Structure 1
Amino acid sequence: MSGKLLTTPRVTVTGAGGPMGLTIARRLAQAGACGLALTDISGTRLGESAALLGAEFPGLEIVSLRGDMTRADEAGAFASAALAGLGGIDVLVNTVGGLRAKQLYTPMLEMTEEQWRATFDLNLMGCFHLTRAFAPGMLERGAGRIVNFATIVFGGEYGQADYAAAKAGVASLTRSLAAELAPHVTVNAVAPGLTRTSVTQNMPEAEAVRLVAGAFNRRMAEPGEIAEAVAFFTSESARFVTGEIIAVSGGIHPHL
């Protein structure tokens, strides 16, 4: 069956030390994953997530390795550990992304080349390295799912030219991979709106109010609501869904 998925998949989640990655890993474990391969740039946060998930899901096989997925050597080391520990990967969730800058907005004419390159690396290189590491096995087995993370601002945003352009790259990459890996591997993306994470918790209240004003229901998303979209893409119900970008944004529509 095109786009089929094992009933007990082996799942990789990047950025698993953060609220979003941890919530996604937990949701996919609840959905029946038989193994989790987790990574994060923070070894401390990663260890905490692995411990929490291990306590919540006794018997679930968990492989965790700290790593920077923008680096080929560290991404390769993690991929090798995941494949050796779980015997293969059926689902890849590329959660890692965001801004490298300390401030939320930087006008393009004030942006450094270092910030520009770092933002593109953060949002795209992990997808590149891990897709190349795990997709061949998915193709060989005739089944697999990849879920990338775009954003509702991929069509452009004032002061976020680097971030918006990088996420537009993620959206385009998702469509390209969907075509290249069809029919057995589906590739989709989630485009969250403003979501309650550690970044937004530190945001000035006035800025948060301004940003949520564009949503129909006037609030931020919760990480669990984003995780539900990821769970859908990795489920049997989505076996004929590929190359799609679903916005979880309270009605804000991403577009170019």
Structure 2
Amino acid sequence: MSGLPTALITGGTSGIGLALAHRLAGTHDLFLTGRGERTGLPKDAGFIKADLSMPGEAADRIEAALRQADVGALSKLVLNAGTGTYAAVGAEDAAMIRRTLDVNLAASVLLAHRLAPFLEAGGGRLVLIGSVAYKGSGNMPAYAASKAGLAGLARSLRAEWSGRIGVQIIHPGPTRTPMHEKAGYVPGRLERLFFPADAMADEIARLMETDRPRATVMIGARLRRLLSGKAS
């Protein structure tokens, strides 16, 4: 380990998670989780292969990997991994609903509590990556419900951990990531209005340096980028 603060990002092998990992590289020792192989990750980032659709097994694997790497403290725990299906409420069967809730919510609850001692030791912060869909989103009922659950989890942990561990939830607006194809969602012309993953990672990294307990990345962020001369 380099002596830099340590950050762990779930779902760190693609999309927003991978882009955010590249933003934090150089200022943090990084550990990234994912189901696939280690490709395109920042140099020297640790990779933990874990399938969050099996929350208990994934939590065991992640905690064991940190201890094996002699990590005793975390500065940031970014619970970013997410999945979902673009389908009407009657089109999702029990297995599809269960997978979405396990990856997006159950795994986040387990990891937050399992890794709380690491965060407390590091004076760290839990960052939950939600979605603007948490207020409700047609044709993604289980996904919207899971993100609403994250908002409730953030409120609960903020009260439970007050004065010990920081808790922040950030709700990204529509972002171009591989999740859309996996979910079966074809945005068409609307995709032109979506944030690129690297632009969303810039906004999330900026918000993580503030004391805001909750934030949404939408129109205001796009205007700020345009005024600063950054493409989005």
So what's the TM-score if we normalise by structure 1?
0.75
Q: Which amino acid aligns with 2:104?
A: N
Report SS of the residue matched to 1:191: strand
Report SS of the residue matched to 1:65: strand
Superposition deviation, residue 125 in structure 1: 2.1
Equivalent position of 1:229 in the other structure: 203
Q: How many residues align?
A: 216
Aligned positions of 1:110-149 closer than 5 A: 110-141=91-122, 143-149=123-129
- Where does structure 1 lack aligned partners over 5 or more consecutive residues? 1-6, 55-59, 213-217
Moved over 4 A (4+): 200-205
Distance of 2:118 and 2:68 partners within structure 1: 13
Tell me which moved more, 14-23 or 65-74.
65-74
Residues 98-142 of structure 1: per-residue CA shift (max 9 Å, x gap): 21x3xx2x221333122222211121122122212221232245x
Superposition deviation, residue 83 in structure 1: 3.4
Equivalent position of 1:180 in the other structure: 160
Counterpart pick for 2:13 among 17, 26, 36: 17
Superposition deviation, residue 194 in structure 1: 1.5
Equivalent position of 1:4 in the other structure: none
Residues 160-187 of structure 1: per-residue CA shift (max 9 Å, x gap): 1111111100111111111211223211
- Where does structure 2 lack aligned partners over 5 or more consecutive residues? 222-232
Distance of 1:148 and 1:230 partners within structure 2: 11
1:95 aligns with 2:76: no
Aligned positions of 1:238-249 closer than 5 A: 238=210, 240-242=211-213, 244=214, 246-249=215-218
Distance of 2:96 and 2:157 partners within structure 1: 27
Q: Which amino acid aligns with 2:164?
A: H
Q: Which amino acid aligns with 2:132?
A: I
Report SS of the residue matched to 2:4: coil
Equivalent position of 2:32 in the other structure: 38
Equivalent position of 2:225 in the other structure: none
Tell me which moved more, 172-181 or 223-232.
223-232
Question: Given that residues 72 and 121 in structure 2 are in contact (C-alpha distance below 8 angstroms), is that contact kept between their aligned partners in structure 1?
Answer: no
Question: Given that residues 139 and 181 in structure 1 are in contact (C-alpha distance below 8 angstroms), is that contact kept between their aligned partners in structure 2?
Answer: no
Flag the 1:165–1:10 CA change in 2: closer, same or farther, 3 A. Answer: same
So what's the TM-score if we normalise by structure 2?
0.82
Superposition deviation, residue 251 in structure 1: 5.5
Question: Given that residues 176 and 197 in structure 2 are in contact (C-alpha distance below 8 angstroms), is that contact kept between their aligned partners in structure 1?
Answer: yes
Indicate the percent of aligned positions where both proteins have the same amino acid.
Answer: 26
Distance of 1:120 and 1:161 partners within structure 2: 11
Superposition deviation, residue 49 in structure 1: 3.2
